[in-house]
Amino acid sequence: MKITTLPSLYRNINRWRKIITVLSRYGLADWISTLNLEFVKDQLKDRDGEALARHTREVRIRLALTDLGPTFIKLGQLLSTRPDIAGIELAKELKNLQSSVPADAPSVARQLIEKDLGQPIDELFSEFDDVAVASASIGQVHRARLKTGERVAVKVQRAGIESVINEDLEVIAGLAQLAEQIEEFQAYRPTATIAEMARLLRRELDFGREERNLQLFSSSFAENPEIKIPIVYSELCTPRVLTMEWIEGIPLSSSEQLIAAGFDLQQLATSGAEGYLKMIFRDGHYHADPHPGNVLLLPGNVIGLIDFGMVGRIEERLREDIEEMLMAIVNRDVLMLTSILKRVGSTPPDIDQRGLSSDVADYVAHYANQSLQDFNVSSALNDMLEILHRYQISLPSQVALLIKTLITLEGTTKILNPSFSLMEVMQPFHRNMLLRRISPARHLRKMRRVALELEHLAEVLPSRLIEILEQIQSGKFDVHLDHRGLGPSVNRLVLGMLTSALFLGSAMMLSLKVPPLLFPNSELLQQLGMQELSILGLIGSTTSILIGLRILRAIMKSGHLDRKE
């Protein structure tokens, strides 16, 4: 742990104590689960009285995050979008994390709304329901009615949640630094991963971002009568209060109500999927959480989307990489797909190239021959994520979020139509993708971008070259080298030289009989020819032999004694 984390450790000592206690408890349960002693496994129990050691490791992680509170629950939910880091099984389990908590008292919610909006509740709304219709770890939702008659949903941030999350994030950052010292976690860059998730979590604290997302999507779907986005009332919004149109519809999970209401489920599945794919491949921004709870069905086969706290954005270059990835699968181009995965993701320096190429070849052979009707997008993406996790290739957060969205989207549409094929709906987008890649407009944009970069290079290159030449002339030019893995080798070399010197010096002391001597008159030592031994020489030679054996053991353990590179 860095010394800069010590103030955080002191400031949050009680929280550290609780976190370590919970982690120790679940870590002990993880160790107990490996034992064959059945009576021991029933000693540690969860809140429902079930033995922790009898749960799977993924379930124990979910339970531990639940016990640690709202910040850890939200981070677990974010980690569920990163199966390339957490693994498929753990990501699936973390999707079950529930952040439902008791709502704040009505007086607390009213006080926050009146403070942020600057007026009493009765002057802002003609009706306001003090009982929250939904409550989560960050906010709660109340029904209300404007003075003009419109029904609205008022989302209010929980009191004190910002300070709680900031305190927990400090602690989690310290834990990430500790994890950075463990070799098996280093490939996943825990410090950088936690920093990224902390940034996303702090964004959720700002309801102003969700307000802007609602405005953006309302503009994008203004001419699409099949998609309904809630209207946002900006004059009644602050970073802690969000007021938007109340949408009344049937939840997607209530299939019996949908059938009874006469909805065309097949048409809804198709139009909803097309709307999402347009967001991704046309607009470059999309609703990133299309699970059934965020999808409502309105009269006239209209799909209503709510909860725009998580929105994905995908830049043009990254979208082209994803398009190339899909084309490589269709064309069965193993080398191209392997190259794209390594280019898009962050690969470890010691990656097994042959193993990765072999697994990608098997993956392509399995999915490239499937018909559109039988192609399972979720299965294909999950298998790809499994390969990435196996070789410790971490994806950019934008790509990981897009993959998670596509998997969730296919699962949601299959609720409406079990025989629905997302790949069939994607086929027109694939054709548009090919046309877009050969379009003159795309090449003109790339040429313009390259020209701007060359112009910038032409501006800065002469001055940078002059600076380098001046440093060389004045003798101030330094070359900084990063010797990765050289530190342990240098330490062994220095220790080996010191050990050799100690052994040689001790041997000379033994041969010259440097006092004090060991048992100079002992008959037994005289019979063995070991009379008059130098005590200092004996101690030095014994120590050098032990250190030499320790160095040899370390070299053999590292596997670099006689292995050919």
Catalytic residues: 289
Return d(Cα 326, Cα 306) in angstroms, integer.
30
Return d(Cα 327, Cα 332) in angstroms, integer.
8
Q: How far is CA 123 from CA 109, 113, 129, 133, in A?
A: 16, 12, 14, 22
The single residue listed with the structure tokens 């900084």 is 480
Burial-class residue 9 by CB neighbours within 10 Å (0-12, 13-18, 19+): middle
Return d(Cα 338, Cα 387) in angstroms, integer.
11
Peptide bond into 516 cis (omega under 30): yes
Q: How far is CA 23 from CA 6, 50, 360, in A?
A: 20, 18, 37
Phi, psi of 194 (to 5 degrees): -65, -40
Burial-class residue 430 by CB neighbours within 10 Å (0-12, 13-18, 19+): middle
Kindly give the residue spans of alpha helices, DSSP state H, lying in 33-182.
57-68, 70-79, 83-86, 88-94, 106-117, 121-124, 161-180
Phi, psi of 206 (to 5 degrees): -95, 100
Residue 291 DSSP SS3: coil
Phi, psi of 151 (to 5 degrees): -80, 135
Tokens representing 103 are: 């709502």
